[in-house]
Amino acid sequence: MSLHQSSEHNIVGAELVEALFDAHIDAIIIAEAETGLFIAANKQAEKLTGIPLPELVGMHQSQLHPPELAEHYRQKYLEFMHQDRLIQDDIIIRHRNGHDIPVSISGSLVTIGGKKYVQGIFHDISGRKRNEQALRNHIEFQHTLIASAGEGICLWRKTETFPYTEFSIWNRRAEEITGYTLEEINTHGWYQSVYIDPEQQERAHQRMLNILAGGSLRGAEIEITTKSGQLRTLRISSNLISGSDEQQWVLAILDDVSEQKKLEAELRQMQKIEALGTLVGGIAHDFNNLLSGILGCIYLARTEVTELPEVATDLEMAEQLGLRAADLVAQLLTFARKGHVNKQPLELNAFLRQVVASRLLAIPENITLQREYCDTPLLILGDTTQMQQITMNLLGNARDALQGCSNPEITIRLQPFIPDRHFMQTHQELRAEAFAKLSVEDNGCGIEASHIERIFDPFFTTKEVGKGTGLGLSTLYSIVQGHGGTVEVESISGHGSRFHVYLPLIDHHPLEIPQTQFRPHSTPRGNGELILLVDDEESVCHATGNVLKRLGYRIITATDSEQALTLFRSRAGEVALIILDVVMPGISGPETAHRIQQLKPNVPILFATGYDIRNTLPVIGRVNVGNALSKPFRIDVLAKKISEMLIQS
């Protein structure tokens, strides 16, 4: 470029200025202020723009920018001209090859010879912009990691005014767990929001002060209340860290372990069931044998004291107590999932109507019983005996909870239920897509909050001694689980309870429930038929044999398999029926039956077992297992079974 050249001194000065101009590390462009046309530029300008100097001189300033930004920069140029001051700004220029370059410009307005010129110094900031973008990307990536973490992540510091904490990080999972947004937590406070009880709030405050004093939390399990009112168990870990501003911050990790705690509780419940099942399996056989002998002797005694009504009444009471003991063993077997289960398609609507109408459970007249059954047939795969037990149990508990209640009321409700995502997450063991929901509600005494978690534990009861075994709800829970369902309970002490039973729906045809299902049976008698009674317990042989004699049968007894085979060989032509214990020392009942049927294939055999039928008889295999009774058996049931088998043979 050329400046003043009027003297040798000026020439030297001009050359110096021009050398400095071209040697500058940044691009320099000079333009006429009025026209915006470039009149001079240094070599760095040529390098920066990719435009040769001869072509660059004479261009308009707007031609340096991308076309889409030209108008924007033209307006900024006009503002600069009117303000007549130094400017500094970051702008974009378009290189000759088409790529955009971010530059920092320092612009100044000078007057020479009465004419205004604009000088712009352009510094390439591409590297800085790349670093800034990389930093933004890194920060954004960190935010994404925090936001998408499977645990709640939060960062807080102590403040001197309410709510005494300020959170700067509160990720999406923290919001999902608690239901509170960052704004809500900073407005209402962390421990003030998630801890309802003042004592809990004070303990939380002390924990926070301890952390600020240099302490820490390592996986502390703490129960909170969410915004929706749900109780959740969090495993919280916290550490004190120092920020760049030398402030003390606390980083906290929140892991929702509510479902894990629920599964652990269910596992403990299953272990209790397994332990109880082992115990029950061990004592059921001997206990039921004893009860068989006791009930048989009571039956015989009752037939001898018909003219002594007071003694007959006492014996009847003893018989009822013996039957209650048998029911208790049956409940234990059911709870331990070792009981006889015969699942068939069952229409729950009709079944419930029949069970409730049968009045097997006495509901006092002062209690209003509301029935709300849906019109849609709800089909389940269920055991009718166990479904009856569930219904009776729920109604019986509701009835007992209403003692001393004014305007007592029970509502039994049946409706279809389609589970939502929350329900399936809560009950991850369930597999069905649709359920029948059976609800029993009362307005009675309710359940204490401290008892809610224990009501399904075996032998837990709040009833008076003699009023409950503590097996009712635990048996119910076990039955429902065995049917692929679950149980929920809602209760507030003093305000009644609601029990909800969920049973999977099916599409099969329902089982028709005989109308005589709940009617008592008469006691058929024999006509001198000879029965071979085989049981390793002499007391059972004695008592049961005498009962059968009173019913009109002739009896021969054996206390082991060898003796039974010997007797049968000698009197095979006379023996009309065999009652055979399943579990005996030496040769088992099933093997004895197989040997007898080799001698006389069509002889009726009635199996008797102190264990559960379904868990005992599958080992038989080679003989008919359709005819079997569990001890202790009611005399009328035994008599009816014998009569049926004799008629069939």
Tell me the per-residue pLDDT of 489-506, one tens digit each, with 9 for 90 and over. Answer: 998 888 889 999 999 998
User: What residue spans define the domains of the chain?
Assistant: 8-126, 149-256, 343-504, 530-648
Least confident range from 319-323, 352-356, 427-431, 477-481: namely 319-323
Q: What pLDDT is stored for residue 532 in this prediction? A: 95
Q: State the DSSP code for 634.
A: P
Q: What would the pLDDT profile of 342-382 be if each residue is shown by its tens digit?
A: 788 999 999 898 888 765 566 788 888 899 999 989 999 98
Residue 584 clears pLDDT 70, i.e. is over it:
yes
Residues near 337 by beta carbon (within 8 Å), at least 6 away in sequence: 273, 277, 478, 482
Query: What Cα–Cα distance (Å) separates residue 37 from each residue in 51, 61, 437?
Result: 15, 6, 84
Residue 314 clears pLDDT 50, i.e. is over it:
yes
Give the Cα separation of 236 and 258 in Å (integer).
Answer: 13
Residue 234 clears pLDDT 60, i.e. is over it:
yes
Both tokens of 432, joined, read: 């069905």
Give the Cα separation of 219 and 543 in Å (integer).
Answer: 63
Q: What pLDDT is stored for residue 6 in this prediction? A: 40
Q: What pLDDT is stored for residue 337 in this prediction? A: 54
Q: Residue range 448-469: average pLDDT?
A: 68
Query: What Cα–Cα distance (Å) separates residue 441 from each residue in 60, 113, 192, 326?
Result: 86, 101, 34, 30
Give the Cα separation of 290 and 543 in Å (integer).
Answer: 10
Q: What pLDDT is stored for residue 514 in this prediction? A: 46
Residue 516 clears pLDDT 60, i.e. is over it:
no
Residue 7 clears pLDDT 60, i.e. is over it:
no
| φ and ψ of 593, to 5 deg | -60, -40
Return the closest-CA partner of residue 475 out of 259, 277, 281. 277
Q: H/E element holding 423? A: helix 421-426
Handedness of CA 191, 197, 198, 203 (dihedral sign): negative
Peptide bond into 163 cis (omega under 30): yes
Q: Is 12 exposed, middle or buried (0-12, 13-18, 19+ CB in 10 A)?
A: exposed
CATH fold of the domain at 343-504: Heat Shock Protein 90 (3.30.565)
Residue 250 clears pLDDT 80, i.e. is over it:
yes
User: Average model confidence (pLDDT) for the chain?
Assistant: 83
Q: Work out the percent of the chain whose per-residue pLDDT is above 70.
A: 86
Q: What pLDDT is stored for residue 27 in this prediction? A: 93
Q: What would the pLDDT profile of 121-136 be if each residue is shown by its tens digit?
A: 999 999 898 898 888 8
CATH fold of the domain at 8-126: Beta-Lactamase (3.30.450)
- Of 468 and 230, the one with more pLDDT: 230
Q: What pLDDT is stored for residue 96 in this prediction? A: 92
pTM more than 0.75:
no
Q: What pLDDT is stored for residue 288 in this prediction? A: 81
Least confident range from 106-110, 173-177, 629-633: namely 629-633
| φ and ψ of 629, to 5 deg | -135, 145
What is the 3-class SS of 467-530, one letter each residue?
CCCCCHHHHHHHHHHHCCCEEEEEECCCCCEEEEEEEEECCCCCECCCCCCCCCCCCCCCCCCE
Domains 8-126 and 149-256 share a fold: yes
Most confident of 288-297, 467-476, 587-596: 587-596
CATH fold of the domain at 530-648: Rossmann fold (3.40.50)
Q: What pLDDT is stored for residue 61 in this prediction? A: 87
Residues near 224 by beta carbon (within 8 Å), at least 6 away in sequence: 178, 194, 195, 231, 232, 234
Q: Is 466 helix (H, G, I), strand (E, B) or coil?
A: coil
Q: What pLDDT is stored for residue 14 in this prediction? A: 60
Q: What would the pLDDT profile of 399-446 be if each residue is shown by its tens digit?
A: 988 887 888 999 999 999 999 988 888 888 888 999 999 999 999 888
Q: State the DSSP code for 60.
A: B
Both tokens of 176, joined, read: 């999902």
Residue 158 clears pLDDT 50, i.e. is over it:
yes
CATH match for 149-256 among 3.20.20.70, 3.40.50.2000, 3.10.20.90, 3.30.450.20? 3.30.450.20
Give the Cα separation of 298 and 321 in Å (integer).
Answer: 11
